Copies of this chain bind each other. A is one copy, B any other.
Amino acid sequence: MSEFSFKLEATDEAARAGRILTTRGEIPTPIFMPVGTQATVKSMLPDQLENAGAKIILGNTYHLHLRPGDELIRNQGGLHEFMSWRGPILTDSGGFQVYSLGEKVRITDEGAAFQSHIDGSRVFISPEDAVRIQRNLGSDVQMVFDECVKLPSEKERVRDAMERTHRWAVRCKAEFEREPPHGAAQFAIVQGGVHEDLRRESAEFLRALDFPGYAIGGLSVGEDQKAMLQTLEAVAVHLPVEKPRYLMGVGTPRDIVEAIHRGVDMFDCVLPTRNARHAQAFTSEGTMSLKTLQFREDKRPLDEKCSCVACAKFSRAYIRHLVVAGEILASILLTIHNVSYYLDLTRKARESIVGGTWDIFRKNFTSA
């Protein structure tokens, strides 16, 4: 098995098709990464993920550090073994979760001090801790610890967070290289809000550190889609062509298509799994709430263009019945479908980029 590497295979306008090689398998890009916050992609078994086309999934440093604990997971043979997922895993650094705690967190150059959302206990995570936790988890792609700010914020506030993220990136890289896990890579995170000058500064600073991949953080945190896409466009030109680009936590199917159009390779988002548990299906004809009466006797599958297990075997009428009756199988089937939908989306995007028909694909894309 080869070490971590990325090969750009085709471009169509700014859209890119590539391939990430890891010791645990290849990842064709653009790729959607299902979110497995607590060592499980909610309501899915690993073989169902594999059948849906998942090539890499996410784990969460913050959640797994608090419960069941990263040392416990290391002693269980690492996160892959623990959750029985053989493919690659990317772990976020916990920066975004810390940001989500809002008032409950105190951030200094030393790190982030906060109260656990589980039992209220005091927790402190330094940049070095974030790397050590991810080393314990044994992830294939680690993220540096970053500071994220809510938008809108004062530009000085955004600059401060960006500069701290830069200092932390240096420290994370040093800690990572002190004892580099076999085959694993560490990605930097570009910050800078919606300010094009800050984003450029951040991209150039981190680029000089020569990470094997670059994430764009701090987007989809309060700004509108237009501002997000403009920022994305401004960042992309300053990122190295030969490294993968990961837009963190984004987004709707339409967001993903537009981000691919601006040169992004990797995505993660809780929408397909979370919305499934609220009875929403993503389909080629837009989103659909399975709570509504209109599907009561509808014999069609969720999406007539989908070949997932849920669509191959079950009708809208049946899934609506499960939703109304409060059955767990509703969440299971809708999750399988939504994750398949997102994975189909990035797979088809890739095919159209390779085939030189990206422009048509993007124009024909009508989903929400």
Write the residues of chain A forming the contact surface with B, with a CB cutoff of 8 angstroms: 38-40, 42-46, 67-68, 72, 75-76, 82-84, 296-297, 299, 309, 313-315, 317-318, 321-322, 324-325, 327-329, 331-332
Cα A74 to Cα B40 with chains together (Å)? 37
Cα A297 to Cα B77 with chains together (Å)? 11
In contact, B82 and A318 (Cβ under 8 angstroms): yes
In contact, A321 and B68 (Cβ under 8 angstroms): yes
Residues of chain B contacted by A317 (CB below 8 angstroms): 68, 72, 76, 82
Q: Which of A67, A75, A84 has the most CB of B within 10 A?
A: A84
Cα A318 to Cα B38 with chains together (Å)? 11
Whether A68 contacts B324 in the complex (CB less than 8 A), given A40-B329, A297-B75, A329-B43, comes out as: yes
Residues of chain B contacted by A329 (CB below 8 angstroms): 40, 42-45
Residues of chain B contacted by A76 (CB below 8 angstroms): 297, 299, 315, 317-318
Identify which of B40, B72, B314, B318 contacts A297 (C-beta below 8 A): B72
Residues of chain B contacted by A327 (CB below 8 angstroms): 38, 40, 42
Cα A329 to Cα B41 with chains together (Å)? 9
In contact, A43 and B332 (Cβ under 8 angstroms): yes
Cα A325 to Cα B36 with chains together (Å)? 13
Residues of chain B contacted by A45 (CB below 8 angstroms): 309, 329, 332
Q: How far does the Cβ of A113 sit from chain B's closest Cβ, in whole Å?
A: 23
Residues of chain B contacted by A67 (CB below 8 angstroms): 321, 324-325
In contact, A328 and B325 (Cβ under 8 angstroms): no
List the 7 shortest-distance A-B pairs measured between CB atoms, nearest first: A43-B328, A84-B313, A68-B321, A40-B329, A38-B325, A40-B327, A82-B318
Residues of chain B contacted by A82 (CB below 8 angstroms): 315, 317-318, 321
7 contacts between A and B (CB under 8 A): A39-B318, A67-B321, A67-B324, A68-B317, A68-B325, A75-B297, A84-B313
Per assembly, the copies of the chain total 2
Residue of B nearest to A43 (CB): B328
Residue of B nearest to A38 (CB): B325
Cα A42 to Cα B165 with chains together (Å)? 46
Identify which of B38, B296, B331 contacts A68 (C-beta below 8 A): B296
Given contacts A75-B297, A82-B318, 7 further A-B pairs with CB under 8 A are: A40-B322, A40-B329, A67-B325, A72-B317, A76-B318, A84-B314, A328-B331
Cα A314 to Cα B84 with chains together (Å)? 7
Residues of chain B contacted by A313 (CB below 8 angstroms): 46, 84
Cα A75 to Cα B140 with chains together (Å)? 50
Q: How far does the Cβ of A43 sit from chain B's closest Cβ, in whole Å?
A: 4
Residue of B nearest to A64 (CB): B321
Q: Which of A68, A82, A83 has the most CB of B within 10 A?
A: A68
Residue of B nearest to A83 (CB): B318
Residues of chain B contacted by A296 (CB below 8 angstroms): 68, 72
Cα A137 to Cα B82 with chains together (Å)? 42
Cα A39 to Cα B327 with chains together (Å)? 10
Q: How far does the Cβ of A200 sit from chain B's closest Cβ, in whole Å?
A: 41
Residues of chain B contacted by A318 (CB below 8 angstroms): 39, 76, 82-84
Q: How far does the Cβ of A224 sit from chain B's closest Cβ, in whole Å?
A: 33
Q: Which of A43, A84, A329 has the most CB of B within 10 A?
A: A329
Q: Which of A315, A324, A332 has the most CB of B within 10 A?
A: A332
Cα A356 to Cα B329 with chains together (Å)? 41
Residue of B nearest to A331 (CB): B328
Residues of chain B contacted by A72 (CB below 8 angstroms): 296-297, 317
